[in-house]
A and B are shown apart, each in its own frame.
Chain A
Amino acid sequence: RKEVEQDPGPFNVPEGATVAFNCTYSNSASQSFFWYRQDCRKEPKLLMSVYSSGNEDGRFTAQLNRASQYISLLIRDSKLSDSATYLCVVIGSWGKLQFGAGTQVVVTP
């Protein structure tokens, strides 16, 4: 079983709609969680950290559920520019960054 798992998608989303997807992690001792965005196999870039109490950054909301060991990302009022692959990143044992395979989001006009 992979340590970090994501639904690969693609999630096809009409412009203006809301999309949400999850990421599960297997190491219950994981302490830090992030969502990264990756465009066309360019380098990943930080979208937002995920805090225990949940957090928002504009149209993006991240949640952490430690009991069920998953994090989620919700995108409201989707824009065409939100089309990308969203990577779930977990800091696991020995401080290693562990990545999910990514969830592809395609926003259509």
Chain B
Amino acid sequence: NAGVTQTPKFQVLKTGQSMTLQCAQDMNHEYMSWYRQDPGMGLRLIHYSVGAGITDQGEVPNGYNVSRSTTEDFPLRLLSAAPSQTSVYFCASRDDTEAFFGQGTRLTVV
């Protein structure tokens, strides 16, 4: 029972590099989302998806892209990393009763 699998756990990028954070769930959830967590800020919604082929912006979408080609996968792309994107990122999927989170990605942009 894998739940939500998020990779990588740690990543260091140079300013201007691009990368993709992977997120996969095996619970057949329609709703998936990406958050970033910064000290004192709580979890802020970056992008979310209510089903395959449907995505929308959250609170802090700038600098990030997403796609949802399948129900299982919801990757987050950083197009050109900036130091302001240094954060802990969480992927989540949910049903009507509970949200499940990946283990998080600690990203540092230098």
Contact = CB atoms under 8 A, between A and B. Distances in A.
B49 to A, nearest CB: 10
The contact size tier of chain B is 20 to 34
A34 B99 contact: yes
A101 B58 CA distance: 16
A97 B48 CA distance: 9
The contact size tier of chain A is 20 to 34
Contacts of B103: 42-43
B45 A43 contact: no
Contacts of A1: none
Nearest to B103: A43
Interface of B: 31, 33, 35, 37, 40-45, 48, 50, 56, 58, 88, 90, 92, 94, 96-99, 101-104
Interface of A: 6, 8, 32, 34, 36, 41-46, 49, 87, 89, 94-102
